[in-house]
Each structure stands twice: as structure tokens, then as C-alpha cells.
Amino acid sequence: MKKKKKKKKLKRPILHGVGVVKSLKVAKRITAEFHRKSEAALEQAGEGAARAASETERDMYQKASQAALQRTSHVRKFVYSTLTTLNKRPGKGEERKVLNGLEVGAVTTEFCCQSPSWIRFRSIDLNSQHPKIEKRDFFALKVCEDEFDVVLNSMVLNCVAEPEDRGEMLLRMAKMLRKETGVLFITIPRRCVENNPFCSVDIFNECLRACGLSVVLTKFSPKIAFWVCEKKGKNVANAPKLNRREKKTKKTNSYFSVRFHRSERRRIAE
């Protein structure tokens, strides 16, 4: 008897809706192309051109990011397991209130809608694709000190166009964290800190220490670099290399770097 051929099951799309990206390969191509165009625009015409991406391009980038995260994201598991390891998770029977978290640049609802009972996240994004994610510019948020127990910044810092704005983002996040107990999670592409004359792993660590953050864990996947930091009170570093300002050229614009505005440099030095 001839064996019956098994019908191939059609894979369901990982997202549903109009204009969704169904293929992981296509998602990776779209996100890579978006970053390439942004970097090219920054090299040629500066920050204004880098921010002038069309709404269609940004919309497709967001959908591609969602598709990639649905299949490959391990950030959620990493965040919760790390908080447990660091003894930040409230124990059973403790009168500790629910942890307060902020997710910067959210593209999915896995934190704001699927978090466990012991932590509550507020998710924001400049170009929100979901009603549960607030459409909000991080730089326009009012900075309230000691407001959050946890802040997540996954693949957002590297998308900020100007080095000074990246420094401001780090300082703002550090201010928002609770003293001695707050935890900051940062992920950026490994290429940002590898073979980069303006920002190595050591230089990035010094930038974090300058903001009053202590690096407690670093982790590297083939393409992504992870940082876990705790807030340790006042700013503690004033490394001269943090204040170094490179001349703007096509070459320096293509590299990731972090700098601080003059007013912030003085405050760090105090």
C-alpha cells in the first residue's frame, strides 16, 4: 500500500492585522535596512535627516520588530530571572508593595499586559502600535526621582541619534530609579561597543558609573549586549574620556558613542 502523503501544515502568522510581517527573515531584513538608512542619513545630513524617516518606514519597522520579538525574544525571561537572583522579587508573606517598572520603547505588550503579580509595568513608545502602550516621548516625561524599581531600555539607546541625547537618556533613567534598590536593564547591539574607537565596553561602563549606576551583570549573545545595573546613590565618576568631544565627521557619526551636555558634565564633576 502506498503511504499517504502528509499535508504540510500552514504556519499561522505570528501577528495578525493589516500589513503585518509574517516572516522572521523579512522582519530581520526590514529592521536592518531601517537602521542602515538611519545611519546613512545621519552621516550625510545630521540628526534632522535621521529623524525624518517617513511614517510608512517607521510603521513597517515597528511591525518587523514585533515579528522578530515574537519569535526570538528572551528578554522577558531574562529580566524576571535576574530580578529574582538579585533578591528584588518580593517574597511570599512580605508586606512589600508591587514593584513599579517602566519600559522605554515598547514594541509589544509582553511587559505591560503579561507581567507577574509582583511587578507592574508602564510601557511607552514614541510610535505606539498598541492601545496598552502609551504614545509618549521619553524625553518629554517628567523626571520624578525614586519613582521606579525597574527600568527597561531594550534596543532603544542605540536608536537615539545624538551622543549627548544618549547621555541625557542614561541620566534621566538613573534619576527615575529608587536609590540603592532600583535596577536598570539595557540592551544594545554588540557592534556598538566592539571595534569602536569611541565606545568600548569599558568606556560604556564608565558612562554608567558616571550616572551613579553600578554594573552588576553583563551578558553577550552573538549580536546583543546586555547590561544590568543597580542605582548606588550619587554620581561617582568623572573620567576625562567622558568629556572628550570628537570632531563631527562622516566617520565619527557612523560610530555609537555617549557624551554628556556641558551642564551635566559640571554636575557629574561635583
Number of domains in the chain: 2
The residue-averaged pLDDT of 131-152 equals: 94
- Say if residue 88 is in the same domain as residue 138: yes
Domain edge (last residue) among 32, 56, 71: 71
Do 104 and 32 reside in the same domain of the chain? no
- What b/e string do you get for 132-155 counting C-beta neighbours within 10 Å, with b at 16 or more? ebeeeebeebeeeeebbbbbbbbb
What pLDDT does residue 96 have?
64
Question: Can you read off the three cell numbers belonging to residue 123?
Answer: 510601557
Examine the domain organization and report whether 58 and 140 are in the same domain.
Answer: no
Instruction: Give the model confidence (pLDDT) of 148-157 as tens digits.
Output: 999 999 999 9
pLDDT in tens, 64-89: 455 455 544 578 889 999 999 999 99
132 Cβ contact partners less than 8 Å away, ≥ 6 residues apart = 109, 112, 113, 123
Position 12 in a domain: no
Q: Which tens digit of pLDDT belongs to each residue from 148-193? A: 999 999 999 998 989 999 999 999 999 999 998 999 999 999 999 9
CA distance 270 to 267: 5
For the chain, helix, strand, coil in percent to 5 are 40, 15, 45
pLDDT for the residue numbered 212? 92
Residue 86 located in a structural domain: yes
In a domain, 50, yes or no: yes
Q: Let me know if residue 17 belongs to a domain.
A: no
Q: Go through the chain and tell me how many residues it has.
A: 270
Same domain, 87 and 157: yes
pLDDT higher than 60, residue 55: no
Does the pLDDT value for residue 253 go beyond 70? Answer: no
**Residue 45 lies in domain:** 24-71
